[in-house]
Amino acid sequence: MKRKKIVVGNWKMNMTMDQSNSLIKELKSISENDVEIKIAPSFTNLHNAVLLGQLSSSNGQYIEVVAQNIHSEERGAYTGEISAEMLKSIGVKSVIIGHSERRKYFNETDSILSKKVKTAIKYNIGVIFCVGEELSERENNNHFNVIKDQISIGLFDLDAYEINKVVIAYEPVWAIGTGKTANSNQIQEMHEFIRELVKDKFDHLRNKSTNDSAASESLRILYGGSVKPNNAKEIFSLQDVDGGLIGGASLNFADFSTIIKAANG
Ligand code: 13P
């Protein structure tokens, strides 16, 4: 099955509103119709990004806007937090959940993340669910177990319909912002492992009478961690890699557009 590639720019805590607006305008000039282009700006830039991203352009390029976080509860006394319904009301289509920076600096546990996933999906917001091992976990040969736990706690109480709203991003923590990319073997074997986990859990649940494709076949699995213009093509050519989640290199047009083009090939 041919899966359309996705390239997501995770802007993290970068970009003023002016910077965000001008980069989105530049991205609108790209015409790579075989790639879904998504950006995840900060909360303050989300609404503008939605408006600019959906503006019609001569080449028909649409930029989908993703939030970087969401609260697990639907509403209430949670000062400073943002709900699924709020995101929905401004046209945000999906949200990153489980990024290692949220796990590490904001103590988000697998069970909190699982709740966030459920809440997002309840409001029909797509989920980009991040998983990844620490360097010490890989060195102890425990990386497959770590990813299995993150995925099973985070996603396995979804049903056969809900899992189709999820994109998984494999981001080895040791490769994020370090300039150290996982090598092709490490990436491909982990992506294949992730697809197998989803297959074992969900594929037998599909509704054969409506000809639904198996969840594991349509699942997009992105790689993240020091994806740059010079390594994107090789990474995106791997069999089970369906695009990338890009940090630093998504902050400027030259690098990000080169990476997007690499996904189109
Ligand atoms: P870098 O591309 O800067 O390594 O960041 C990856 C990342 O964390 C994307 O979510």
CATH number at residue 57: 3.20.20.70
Q: How many domains in the chain? A: 1
- Phi/psi for 254 (5° steps) reads -60, -50
Atom of ligand 1 nearest to the CA of 224: 6
Q: Using H for helix, E for strand and C for coil, what is the string for the chain?
A: CCCCEEEEEECCCCCCHHHHHHHHHHHCCCCCCCEEEEEECCHHHHHHHHHHHHCCCCCCCCEEEEECCCCCCCCCCCCCCCCHHHHHHCCCCEEEECCHHHHHHCCCCHHHHHHHHHHHHHCCCEEEEEECCCHHHHHCCCHHHHHHHHHHHHHCCCCCCHHHHEEEEECCHHHCCCCCCCCHHHHHHHHHHHHHHHHHHHHHHCCHHHCCCCHHHHCCEEEECCCCCCCHHHHHCCCCCCEEEECHHHCCHHHHHHHHHHHHC
Kindly report the number of other CB atoms within 10 A of residue 116's CB atom: 24
Extract long-range pairs of 199-207: CB within 8 Å, 24+ residues apart: 201/152, 201/156, 202/160, 202/163, 205/159, 205/160, 206/160, 207/160
| pLDDT, tens digit (0-9, with 9 covering 90-100), for 118-174 | 999 999 999 999 999 999 999 999 999 999 999 999 999 999 899 999 999 999 999
* Those residues with Cβ within 8 angstroms of residue 23's Cβ, 6 or more apart along the chain or in another chain: 15, 39, 251, 252, 253, 256
Question: Catalytic: 101?
Answer: no
Active-site residue, from 32, 36, 71, 99: 99
Instruction: Answer whether 168 contacts ligand 1 (Cβ < 6 A).
Output: no
**What one-letter code names the amino acid at 19?**
Q
**pLDDT value at position 209?**
59
| pLDDT, tens digit (0-9, with 9 covering 90-100), for 188-238 | 999 999 999 999 999 888 766 566 678 999 999 999 999 999 999 999 999
Nearest residue by C-alpha to atom 9 in ligand 1: 247
Kindly report the number of other CB atoms within 10 A of residue 126's CB atom: 18
Instruction: Answer whether 244 contacts ligand 1 (Cβ < 6 A).
Output: no
pLDDT over threshold 80, residue 103: yes
Structural domain that includes position 222: 5-263
Instruction: Answer whether 245 contacts ligand 1 (Cβ < 6 A).
Output: yes
**pLDDT value at position 210?**
60
Instruction: Answer whether 154 contacts ligand 1 (Cβ < 6 A).
Output: no
Kindly report the number of other CB atoms within 10 A of residue 249's CB atom: 20
* Those residues with Cβ within 8 angstroms of residue 204's Cβ, 6 or more apart along the chain or in another chain: none
| pLDDT, tens digit (0-9, with 9 covering 90-100), for 56-95 | 776 777 899 999 999 999 999 999 999 999 999 999 999 9
Active-site residue, from 133, 143, 171, 191: 171
Instruction: Answer whether 173 contacts ligand 1 (Cβ < 6 A).
Output: no
Nearest residue by C-alpha to atom 1 in ligand 1: 247
**pLDDT class of 33 with cuts at 50, 70, 90:** confident
Q: Which of 193, 209, 212 is nearest to 201 (CA)?
A: 193
Residue 100 alpha carbon to ligand 1 centre in Å = 10
Question: Catalytic: 139?
Answer: no
Atom of ligand 1 nearest to the CA of 249: 2
**pLDDT value at position 220?**
98
